[in-house]
Homo-oligomer: A and B are copies of this chain.
Amino acid sequence: MAKIPHRLYLTEEQMPKQWYNLRADMKEQPDPLIHPGTHEPLPEQALYPIFCDKLAHQEMDSTTRYFDIPAPVLDMYQMYRPSPLCRAYNLEKALDTPAKIYYKFEGNNTSGSHKLNSAIAQAYYAKEQGLKGLTTETGAGQWGTALSEACAYFGLDLKVFMVKVSYEQKPYRKAVMQTFGADVTPSPSNTTEAGRAILAADPHSNGSLGCAISEAVELATKTEGYRYVLGSVLNQVLLHQSIIGLESKQAMELLDEYPDIVIGCAGGGSNLGGLIAPFMQDKLTGKADPRIIAVEPASCPSFTRGKYAYDFCDTGHVTPLARMYTLGNGFMPASNHAGGLRYHGMSPMLSKLYHDGYMEAVSAKQTDVFAAAVQFAKVETILPAPESAHAIRGAIDEALRCKESGEAKTILFGLTGTGYFDMAAYQAYHDGTMQNHIPTDAELEKGFATLPQLG
């Protein structure tokens, strides 16, 4: 066949028309969400006050293998999808590696990341149910931007709680959300009980994702015609994000390729779960056996140093409990941690797969991550988000191992987004002022002490 192009775009006909639900192929299911008081598994209906009905169903349905993507969602997908599958010829050359490196680039939309894939679905289902608006939280801002874009498109109100330190460090993220019509509040705020409680304990709190979640959930459940949406961690989000993996696999098949190693960055698991879904399916069903590697920040190491335990999804304890790899809901990454991937927990589905040995996880220091980002940008002409650069770091490390061993492995990684709003962190890296912080065991113990006791 002809030379593999730098960028491969599927045609409209080749694009997936269904999302894939990985749970349908898992031999053992993740542990269920439980009520924090009774510790009883939650029925689907218990989620209706929080999530809109169809999303609550998707959250709980572990048997339906494929869900049709609704036509209005497909229609908006077609405004920025398919995203390209890219062959990193220039990076391969720069590394002088025999490995073949592919990446799926999800940053070519205004929100700048893969988050839009689920934002569109969640906004659509809310609109379909006749809701007036949504609430959510955002950390580094990718999710808030994506949801703002989707809500503007479908004509929904949106209230975003933005982690205060990000709100102050990234005023331009806020301006983008406002351009799309969203209402943005720094969290913790005094507009919710959860926020007031956190401020009472620490008036100078920088905020955290867990805290912003508490505020957003509280506002949604107390406001007529509103529901809460979340950009990661949940089963429904991984379902929507499966489009990343489905397109990647389809594109690789067209090139007669299959990855030996699949690498994704890991925060709450939205990109990782989406990217690996069809490859994990092959692994679970015995069709193939790719290595699957999560790369997480050394400063927020839920897979590599967390506990597999039931924990709250938020700091204010307004959510159900999920069993997942967690640093404890009170854990906060050090303030010098740049970018996203700062959630204390991890997708329960991915946690189960990791716990059962189906995937590996490594952690990376942020200066090493930015070194990979700069090396990549110069030759591949894309400016990666710090989040995405974790996967680049992982891919470069594997490619360098191939150089040592002489093996021509095929590596696929997820390039989740662009770094336009992260230039202060890049500047710190260039200036040599960027710091690393690897939590001590004692620091981790403080986080673990916030885990709920299930008796």
Interface status of A39 (Cβ within 8 A of chain B): no
Given contacts A7-B80, A152-B377, A179-B377, 5 further A-B contacts (CB under 8 A): A79-B86, A79-B380, A153-B379, A153-B381, A175-B426
Choose among B79, B181, B426, B430 the residue that contacts A381 (Cβ–Cβ < 8 A). B79
B-side contacts of A5, CB under 8 Å: 12, 78
Shortest distance from the beta carbon of A208 to any chain B beta carbon, whole Å: 24
Shortest distance from the beta carbon of A134 to any chain B beta carbon, whole Å: 16
- Contact call A430/B175, Cβ cutoff below 8 A: yes
- Contact call B171/A427, Cβ cutoff below 8 A: yes
A residues near B, CB below 8 A?
5-7, 9, 12, 75-76, 78-80, 86, 90, 108-110, 112, 149, 152-153, 171-172, 175-176, 178-181, 373-374, 377-383, 418, 420-421, 423-424, 426-427, 430
B-side contacts of A149, CB under 8 Å: 381
B-side contacts of A181, CB under 8 Å: 378
Pairs across A and B, CB under 8 Å, 6 listed: A79-B380, A79-B381, A152-B377, A153-B378, A176-B423, A179-B426
Shortest distance from the beta carbon of A139 to any chain B beta carbon, whole Å: 18
- Contact call A6/B79, Cβ cutoff below 8 A: yes
Q: Which 3 A-B pairs have the closest CB atoms?
A: A172-B423, A420-B420, A175-B423
User: What copy number does this chain have within its complex?
Assistant: 2
Choose among B378, B381, B383 the residue that contacts A80 (Cβ–Cβ < 8 A). B381
Shortest distance from the beta carbon of A87 to any chain B beta carbon, whole Å: 10
- Contact call B176/A383, Cβ cutoff below 8 A: yes
Select the residue from A181, A374, A423 with max chain B CB neighbours within 10 A.
A423
In the complex, A9 Cα to B108 Cα: how many Å? 14
- Contact call A178/B382, Cβ cutoff below 8 A: no
- Contact call A178/B430, Cβ cutoff below 8 A: yes
Shortest distance from the beta carbon of A221 to any chain B beta carbon, whole Å: 28
Choose among B86, B180, B430 the residue that contacts A179 (Cβ–Cβ < 8 A). B430
B-side contacts of A75, CB under 8 Å: 6
On whether A377 and B180 interact (CB within 8 A), knowing A9-B9, A110-B383, A172-B423, the answer reads yes
- Contact call A175/B379, Cβ cutoff below 8 A: no
On whether A78 and B383 interact (CB within 8 A), knowing A418-B110, A420-B421, A421-B420, the answer reads no
Shortest distance from the beta carbon of A230 to any chain B beta carbon, whole Å: 21
On whether A7 and B78 interact (CB within 8 A), knowing A381-B109, A426-B175, the answer reads yes
B-side contacts of A378, CB under 8 Å: 152-153, 179-181
B-side contacts of A6, CB under 8 Å: 75, 78-79
Choose among B76, B178, B377 the residue that contacts A110 (Cβ–Cβ < 8 A). B377
B-side contacts of A86, CB under 8 Å: 79
In the complex, A382 Cα to B110 Cα: how many Å? 5
